[in-house]
Amino acid sequence: MISAGDFRNGVTIELEDNIFQIIEFQHVKPGKGAAFVRTKLKNIKSGGVVEKTFRPTEKCPTAHIDRKDMQYLYNDGDLYYFMDGETYDQMALSANDIGDALKFVKENETVKVCSHKGNVFAVEPPLFVELAITDTEPGFKGDTATGATKPATVETGASVNVPLFVNTGDVIKIDTRTGEYLSRV
């Protein structure tokens, strides 16, 4: 149990049969009336953000989130298969559980599988990945000064905006949180 007065960013709590992560919190002491804690909470399962106020003495149970490194093996239609690197146990997750988390992840790469009390609710890809460009318009000499971009398709099938000088076959580094091009490798 954690009291609202001890809230910090990143803490996960159980509230109303859901799991929330504290994104933002603020202790407020108005001139008249009792103090309170204003928070922004992100629902970990659905991704929605809600604002809620607590009295500083209110207590919430903390939620323990298990993050386990697993190897993404392959997908078979609507199911995605993962393997535990230590026990070699395999697990299948549906496309609804995955969402678009794997759009920049190749087969046999390591991802983090997040679960709460044995129920998997999310897959976290690595922060940065290196992928080859499979299709893009050709670049021209001197296309480095304007900062313009063009669409490109990477080997996983995802689309990324890249600078004009990047060509088909180049390997690029991508930030998986934003889907943005970082650099050529």
pTM: 0.72
Split at pLDDT 50, 70, 90, the class of 50 is very high
**Among the three residues 97, 124, 151, which one is the final residue of a domain in this structure?**
124
Q: Are 120 and 114 in contact (CB under 8 A)?
A: yes
Q: Which domain holds residue 178?
A: 128-184
- In this structure, the answer to whether residues 21 and 44 fall within a common structural domain is yes
- 125-136 pLDDT per residue, tens: 899 999 999 998
- In this structure, the answer to whether residues 9 and 49 fall within a common structural domain is yes
Burial class (CB in 10 A: 0-12, 13-18, 19+), 123: buried
- In this structure, the answer to whether residues 44 and 91 fall within a common structural domain is no
CATH number at residue 53: 2.30.30.30
- pLDDT recorded at residue 97: 77
Q: How many domains is the chain built from?
A: 3
- In this structure, the answer to whether residues 143 and 115 fall within a common structural domain is no
- 68-102 pLDDT per residue, tens: 999 999 988 888 899 988 898 898 888 877 878 88
- In this structure, the answer to whether residues 150 and 179 fall within a common structural domain is yes
- pLDDT recorded at residue 119: 81
Say whether pLDDT at 104 is over 70. yes
Mean of the per-residue pLDDT values of the chain: 87
- Could you tell me what percent of the chain has a pLDDT over 70? 96
- In this structure, the answer to whether residues 56 and 95 fall within a common structural domain is no
- pLDDT recorded at residue 144: 62
- 19-35 pLDDT per residue, tens: 898 989 999 999 888 89
- In this structure, the answer to whether residues 73 and 119 fall within a common structural domain is yes
Say whether pLDDT at 143 is over 60. no
CATH number at residue 173: 2.40.50.140
Q: Are 172 and 156 in contact (CB under 8 A)?
A: no
**Among the three residues 88, 109, 124, which one is the final residue of a domain in this structure?**
124
- Taking the C-alpha atoms of residue 75 and residue 59, their distance in angstroms, rounded to an integer, is 42
Q: Which of 29, 1, 28 has its CA nearest to residue 13?
A: 1
Split at pLDDT 50, 70, 90, the class of 115 is confident
- In this structure, the answer to whether residues 113 and 133 fall within a common structural domain is no
